[in-house]
Chain A
């Protein structure tokens, strides 16, 4: 069990550029979650998938954000036309069908928008 992995670990971009992050969940976990964490705050829910279906999106997920999980395995989170306010740690978590509430987090991708 290699745990949840996320790539890249760090991303620095200029305002207005597009960025894409990848999350590989724990093998066999069918639920995958995205959260955003700003400095000194708790993680905030963005969206989650059950297999390839996106079941819920937070109001925090503006039109510039899109997430996919095309084959029910890895997921990508894309931010278009980045803004300085998008600077945060983007966390991915996964859980399995028997214990949906137990979510295991990856190390996160830290985004800095200049």
Chain B
């Protein structure tokens, strides 16, 4: 059972554009929602994370928007750069288990 659904599977954006990736979850016990960035052959790197007591969190060019009632959250990459070309994963965990449940990933390609 896929508890975190991520879309789109792939995304092409022009340099300077905005990349938007969406995730939806089912388990209402989830209370921590991180995003990871992964380059080929590397492990996932923590990018930004949010808890459900806030609706938005911004760090540099990366913003998470969170909608608790809809059980959805999204990542916005502003001013996308070729170096942002990577696979992005949303994830979720609860205080009880702490294990991360990942979405299926979004492959982002930023064209110069």
Q: List the 3 closest pairs (A to B, CB-CB), nearest first.
A: A42-B102, A105-B43, A101-B32
A45 and B104 contacting across the interface, CB-CB below 8 Å: no
A101 and B34 contacting across the interface, CB-CB below 8 Å: yes
- The interface size of chain B toward A, counting residues with CB under 8 Å, comes to 24
Count of A-B contacts judged by CB separation below 8 Å: 59
Q: Give the interface segment out of B54-62, B64-72, B78-86, B93-101.
A: B93-101
A104 and B98 contacting across the interface, CB-CB below 8 Å: no
A104 and B89 contacting across the interface, CB-CB below 8 Å: no
A31-45: which have CB < 8 Å to B?
31, 33, 35, 40-45
Q: Is A28 an interface residue (CB 8 A)?
A: no
Known: A42-B89, A43-B44, A108-B43. A103 touches B100 (CB 8 A): yes
Bound complex: CA of A31 vs CA of B44, how far in Å?
A: 17
From A89, which residue of chain B is reached at the shortest CB distance? B43
CB neighbours of A44 from chain B (8 A): 102
Binding site for A on B (CB under 8 A): 6, 32, 34, 36, 41-46, 49, 89, 91, 93, 95, 97-105
CB neighbours of B100 from chain A (8 A): 33, 35, 43, 45, 93, 103
CB neighbours of B103 from chain A (8 A): 42
Q: Is A74 an interface residue (CB 8 A)?
A: no
CB neighbours of B32 from chain A (8 A): 101
Known: A43-B89, A105-B44. A100 touches B98 (CB 8 A): yes
A101 and B104 contacting across the interface, CB-CB below 8 Å: no
13 pairs, CB–CB < 8 Å, chain A vs chain B = A33-B100, A42-B6, A42-B89, A42-B103, A42-B104, A43-B89, A44-B102, A45-B100, A101-B49, A104-B46, A105-B43, A105-B44, A107-B41
CB neighbours of B43 from chain A (8 A): 4, 91, 93, 105-108
